Amino acid sequence: MLRILGTETEFGIISRSTGHPDPVANSLRLISHCPHLPAPTALWDYESENPFLDARGFPVEGEPERPSTTYNRQLNKVLPNAGRLYVDGAHPEYSTPECSNPREVVAYERAGDHIVAECLARLNASMGDENFLVYRNNSDGKGNSFGYHENYILSRRIPFEQVANVLLPFFVSRPIFCGAGKVGSENGTDPISYQISQRADFFECLLDLNTMVNRPIINTRDEPHAHQADYRRLHVIVGDANMSEVSTFLKVGTTAIIMEMLEQRGSLPHIELTAPVKSIKAVSRDLTVKASLPTNNGQHTTAIAIQRAFLQSAHDFYRTREVSPITKEVLVRWESTLDTLERDPFELRREVDWVAKHELIQSYMDRKQCSWKDPRVAMMDLQYHDVRPTKGLYYTLERTGQIERLTLDQEVERARQTAPAFTRAFFRGQCLKHLPDQVYGMSWTSVLLHSGNSTIKRIPLMDPYRGTQQLTQELFKDITSVDQLLSRLVKS
C-alpha cells in the first residue's frame, strides 16, 4: 500500500485555575513549550492554502488565514519529523507528516501524543503545579466537539459525487470498530447511557464545507495541498480520535483500501441509506452493533452487513492483484474484527476503544454500585483520553497488558525524530536536519530557505509522491549550504 495519508488531531485543553480561562492563550502556552525544535523561528507558509474551495465546484466566502510574522511563529511549530504542532481555533493541534501506509500513521500519531504530553509536562513544571490538563478526545461533555481529521490523496479524475456516494454508508457504519466510546449524549440528541462514537451526536447533514457548525458526514473541502489538476485530498472529519492503535489502524487502513479501489475503478457496493444522519446516530447508540438501518430500496441493513459488503468487494478486487503485506494485514484484521463483532462485540476489549472503555467503566460501576449518571463515571470517560502516560486510563490498560499495541517504543521515537521515507515529507525533514538555521518557513507544499543577502528561496513540493528518500537522499549528502542544495536541485 502506497498512498499519501495523514491525520490532524485537535486536543482538548483545560485549566484548573480560574486565572487561565482563555483556551486560545492556554493552547499557545502549551505549544510554546515544545522541545527540540530544529528551526524554532520557522514560519508556516500559508501562501498556497485556501480552505474555502468546495469540491462541488464553487468557492465560498471567507478570507484565508494570513497571520503576522510574530503571531505566525507563536501559532506554528515545525517539528523534526516534518509534521506540525499549532493552534487551530481554540485547540492545540498536531498534524502528522505525510505517511505512506496506515502503520506509519499509527506510529506518527503516537509520536504526536508524546510531543503534546511533553509540552504539557514542561508547561506545568514551569508553573510549579499540575494546572493544565490535555485530552485526546472529541468532546468536553458540555456540548462542544473538536475534531480529528483524516486526509487521503486521491486522483482528481474520480468525480467527487462518486466518492461521496460510496463513502456515505461506509462512514456511517465504520464506528463499530473505530468509535472511541462516550458516556451520555450531547447536541440535543436523545439521551443514552453509553454510545460507540464521540462524534456521531454532532453530525447534522450529508455534505458541506463546514467543520465547526452544521457538520457533514462528508466534508467538501477542496484543498489538495498538491497539484490541483492532478489530485484531490479527501478531508475526513467524521472519525473519532482513537487511543487504541488497532482502531486507528483499521480506521485509516480500511478507508485507504476504499481509496485504492475508487482510483483503480474497482467494483464497490451500491448502498443508499434512507437517512444517513439518523443512521450514524443509531449505529453509535447500539452496543449490539445490530441496529436496523433503512435503505432506499425499502429494505434494511446493519453496520456489520455494510462493512462486510465493502470487505467482500475488497477481497474481489485484490484477488487478481498483488497484495502488499500491509494491505493483507488490514484485510485480515478487518475480517476478524467483523467476525468478532458479530459473535460478541465485548470480546474486542483488547483492540477497540469503545469496548475497552465500556468494560473499564462497567467494572468500576459494579465495584462502586453506581450508575452511568455518576459524575465519577463522566470523569473516567474523560480520564481514558488523558495524554499523561502516568494518569491516562488508556495507558494504564496498556501498561498492564490489557490492550494490544501495534507499535514498538523505538518506532514511535523514530517517528518523532525523522520524517517518513516514502513521501515528500522526507525532503522537508532533511532540510530541517541539514540546514536548520537556514529554514525560514515551511508548509506541506514548500520549503522556504535563507540563501544569503536577505533572499528567501521557495522550493515547491507540489507532488506528494516526490521528495522521497530514494529520490533525494543524494541531494543532502555532505550538504553545507542552501546554494549547494539549490545547485544540486537544478542538476537533478
pLDDT 10s digits, 395-405: 999 999 999 99
Query: How would residue 17 be classed by pLDDT, with cut points 50, 70 and 90?
Result: confident
pTM of the full structure: 0.97
pLDDT 10s digits, 260-311: 999 999 999 999 999 999 999 999 999 999 999 999 999 999 999 999 999 9
Mean pLDDT of all residues in 200-229 = 94
pLDDT for the residue 246: 98
- According to the CATH classification, is domain 5-37+79-412 in 3.30.590? yes
Measured in residues, the chain has a length of 492
Instruction: Tell me whether residue 18 is exposed, middle or buried, using C-beta atoms within 10 angstroms of its C-beta: 0 to 12, 13 to 18, 19 or more.
Output: exposed
- Per-domain residue ranges of the chain: 5-37+79-412, 419-491
pLDDT at residue 73 greater than cutoff 90: yes
At residue 183, φ and ψ (nearest 5 deg) are -85, 125
Residue 391 in grid coordinates:
494518569
Q: How many CA atoms lie within 13 A of 333 on its CB side?
A: 26
Q: Please tell me which residue in 22, 45, 54, 88 is annotated as part of the active site.
A: 88
Mean pLDDT of all residues in 187-208 = 97
Mean pLDDT of all residues in 33-55 = 94
Residue 307 in grid coordinates:
462493512
pLDDT at residue 1 greater than cutoff 80: no
Query: How would residue 173 be classed by pLDDT, with cut points 50, 70 and 90?
Result: very high
pLDDT at residue 62 greater than cutoff 90: no
Mean pLDDT score of the chain, rounded to an integer? 96
pLDDT at residue 58 greater than cutoff 90: no
Task: Enumerate residues 6+ apart whose C-beta is below 8 A from 161.
Answer: none
Which H or E run contains 41? none
Between 144 and 239, the more confident residue is 239
**SS3 breakdown of the chain: % helix, strand, coil, rounded to 5?**
40, 15, 40
Q: Is 88 one of the catalytic residues?
A: yes
pLDDT at residue 436 greater than cutoff 90: yes
CA-based end-to-end distance of the chain:
27
